[in-house]
Chain A
């Protein structure tokens, strides 16, 4: 018990350390991100002033980097749903040290993704027209409904398991941090005292939220795919678009979680709690999804290519041999085949191998969204010359600012809130301790659960 007590104290200190200690590198990093965001805001101000003419989008290819990035962010928002909700439902105990990061990625990615829809509008002042004049029959309205519901549910699902940890911060940091933080922890900990009544309420709330959030998350990316599949464009005439998008979303969500996990583990010295086991287990999930994605590609392109109806030939030529061939083959080989091999081959199945696979997958999944969007628009609807699209400095700057905002929000979150679910990790270890002989726990506390 003494060892567990000491280990628990170390765990709490590890959770508190990011709040109490700030290195000069932290300020430099935040300043860099703010500079990128500032440049992006300037670029957007040019677009706001002059209109979408400053972008590379025109009447024939009217979606570009913005919608690509929107779909990408909505995709990675599935990290929290899979890692936290699905693994919680399946009672996979190894998940506990990484759930908080996954849940936060979900909330942040949704905020960043939703911003890109507004950025894509030439007249953002008219965004409320979707609500005022929206038609229930429109997939755009379904998308707005699904994303707002998912964002609300994700914030609730992030907040609920954080309550005991916020109470820990409230009690342990009282008088050691600024007044606003003290008040924040006091407010958000909702007077948590750990009573049995509070535990019952929290358990019921978490159970409800974790079951609810899974279908909501599936609906979100399905509806995003329907925006494409319900438009009369040859490359988007696919019945498996919904399932394909959901699989791709979970795939990119796992990859992003692995990357964020690796960075926070290194920066905040969480090696004791986030072990190689977590990377390898997530790597297995990633490998499983590479196979699902390869299957999806073959299923979609083989069936449409066999019939070769309408403009399929034009689309196949531009995708596999022409303008988008580089993107497609990078996605297929670099984003599906190579990551799968990196994880499945024993000599690269380690932290670096999994992180490299995750980086490749993240890049490839953005590229996949790009060619789905742009190549889809490039197929002519009538007998005119195919158009071309090249993003301008405005679009590139705004996109960079979006990714910088994503990084900044995660950085700030780690500075204000507990990045490890302390109570869940502790409960996991203590329950394992109950069923094991004394002294077996200490060497492998966080990853000691069953997969």
Chain B
């Protein structure tokens, strides 16, 4: 009688365990899939679509909350950052507007937790982001005054440097005039060439008189 009771208890325990495991397996009654481009450029906007369908009949699951995560590192701490949440529409699609800002290989994890279930349904989307060619930040604040922009600054600075260049050209003109004067002095003193340096010296020392 005691043996019968033990067998009965063991059977109940095993049955409970099987039922419990079976319930966990049954939690996966939805299928999640991500549709998005796999190659992007930093700064581009892309739509990440998470498609949620019933595992039983393949029909779209509407009005379900899907969460998007991404691996990130900040201040020396690595972890997952929640990018956002979206509700599925009548087609079972939850859409997240995504704008990558750093180049490299990235992965986004999408998660849906069936009500009453303990394990979420997951899907991942790996994509490659190319570096941006221009500046990503665009200020929208402030007052835009026509004509008051970077070109005005460039014109101003260029104007100043052009005037400085004209000063440099004057120095070249001084040097050329000096060369011509030396040639004339040399020509004038050709018979007695030894006097030339002395003549040049005199003209230099009295230059500003």
A residues sitting closer than 8 Å to B (CB atoms) are 8, 12, 135-137, 142, 145, 149, 152-153, 156, 159-160, 163-165, 167-168, 170-172, 174, 189-195, 197-198, 201-202, 204-205, 208-209, 212, 216, 422-424, 426-427, 430
Does B170 contact A174, Cβ atoms closer than 8 Å? no
Give chain A residues whose Cβ lies under 8 Å from the Cβ of B173: 197, 201
- Residue-wise, chain B 167-208 has the 8 Å CB interface mask toward A (1 for contact) of 110110111011111100100000000000000111111111
Question: Which listed residue, A149, A156, A163, A167, touches B168 by the CB 8 Å rule?
Answer: A156
Q: Does B166 contact A (CB under 8 A)?
A: yes
Contact B209 A189 (CB under 8 A): no
Known: A149-B161, A171-B200. A193 touches B181 (CB 8 A): yes
Residues of chain A with a CB closer than 8 A to B182's CB: 191, 193
A174 to B209, CA, bound (A): 20
B208 interface neighbour in A142, A160, A204, A423, Cβ under 8 Å? A423
- Which partner residue on chain B sits nearest A196 by CB separation? B177
Shortest 10 CB-CB distances between A and B: which pairs? A191-B178, A194-B207, A423-B208, A205-B170, A171-B204, A197-B177, A171-B201, A190-B175, A167-B204, A164-B208
Chain B neighbourhood of A189, CB < 8 A: 204
**Cβ-defined contact, A164 with B207, below 8 A:** yes
CA gap between A142 and B209 in the complex, in Å: 43
Between A and B, 11 residue pairs with Cβ closer than 8 Å are A136-B150, A149-B157, A156-B168, A160-B167, A163-B171, A171-B204, A191-B177, A195-B177, A202-B174, A208-B167, A430-B209
Q: Are B207 and A205 in contact, with the CB atoms below 8 A?
A: no
- B177 neighbours in A (Cβ, 8 Å): 191, 193, 195, 197-198, 201
Question: Cα distance A373–B25 when bound, in Å?
Answer: 66
> Helix, strand, loop or mixed for chain A's interface?
helix
Residues of B within 8 A of A (CB): 135, 139, 150, 153, 157, 160-161, 163-164, 166-168, 170-171, 173-175, 177-182, 185, 200-209
CB-CB under 8 A from B206, the residues of chain A are 194
Kindly state the separation between the CA atoms of A194 and B182 in the bound complex, as whole angstroms. 11
Could you tell me the dominant secondary structure of chain B's interface residues?
Answer: helix
Tell which of B150, B174, B204 touches A168, judged by Cβ atoms closer than 8 Å: B204
A201 touches B164 (CB 8 A): no
**Structural contact, B171 and A192, CB atoms closer than 8 A:** no
In the complex, A245→B107 CA distance in Å?
A: 52
Contact yes or no, A174 B203, CB < 8 A: no
Question: Chain B residues near A137 (CB, 8 Å)?
Answer: 139, 150
Bound complex: CA A192 to CA B170 (Å): 13
Q: Which residue of B lies closest to A190 (CB)?
A: B175
Q: Given the interface contacts A153-B164, A212-B164, does A426 sit within 8 Å of B209 by beta carbon?
A: yes
Contact between chains at B207 and A209 (CB < 8 Å): no
Task: Verify A204–B163 contact, CB threshold 8 A.
Answer: no
What residues on B are CB-neighbors of A170 within 8 Å?
Answer: 204
Asked whether, in the complex, the Cβ of A193 is within 8 Å of the Cβ of B161, the reply is no
Given contacts A145-B157, A171-B204, A191-B181, 14 further A-B pairs with CB under 8 A are: A149-B161, A167-B207, A168-B205, A189-B204, A192-B204, A195-B181, A198-B181, A198-B207, A208-B166, A208-B167, A212-B160, A212-B164, A423-B207, A427-B208
A197–B207 alpha-carbon span in the complex (Å): 12
Asked if B204 and A193 make an inter-chain contact with CB atoms under 8 angstroms apart, the answer reads: yes
8 Å CB contact of A204 from B135, B168, B170, B181: B170
Please give, as numbers and ranges, the residues of chain A lying within 8 Å of B204 by CB-CB distance: 167-168, 170-171, 189, 192-194
A192 touches B178 (CB 8 A): yes
Partner of B203, one of A135, A145, A165, A194: A194
Contact A156 B167 (CB under 8 A): yes
With A136-B153, A167-B204, A427-B208 known to touch, is A209 a contact of B175 (CB < 8 Å)?
A: no
Q: State A216–B111 Cα separation when bound (angstroms).
A: 61
Q: A168-B207, A171-B204, A430-B209 are in contact. Are A198 and B178 (CB under 8 A)?
A: yes
- The smallest C-beta distance from B125 to any residue of chain A, in angstroms, reads 31
B201 to chain A, nearest CB (A): 4
Most B-side CB within 10 Å, residue of A145, A194, A208: A194
Cα A170 to Cα B204 with chains together (Å): 8
Q: Which A residues lie within 8 Å of B170 (CB)? A: 201-202, 204-205, 208
CA distance A149 to B201 in the complex (A): 36
Docked Cα-Cα span, A202 to B170, in Å, equals: 7
Are A193 and B163 in contact (CB-based, < 8 A)?
Answer: no
What residues on B are CB-neighbors of A201 within 8 Å?
170-171, 173-174, 177
Closest to A430 in B: B209
Q: How far is the CA of A285 from the CA of B200 in the complex (A)?
A: 42
Given that A204-B170, A205-B167, A208-B167 are known contacts, is A193 also in contact with B200, CB under 8 Å in the complex?
yes
Cα distance, A171 to B198, chains bound together (Å): 9
Is B174 a contact of A163 with CB atoms below 8 Å?
A: yes
Q: Are B164 and A171 in contact (CB under 8 A)?
A: no
Q: Report the minimal beta-carbon distance from A93 to chain B, rounded to whole angstroms.
A: 15
- Among B178, B182, B202, residue most surrounded by chain A Cβ atoms (within 10 Å): B178
In chain A, what residue has the closest Cβ to B150? A136
Closest to B208 in A: A423
- Bound: A46/B54 CA distance, A: 65
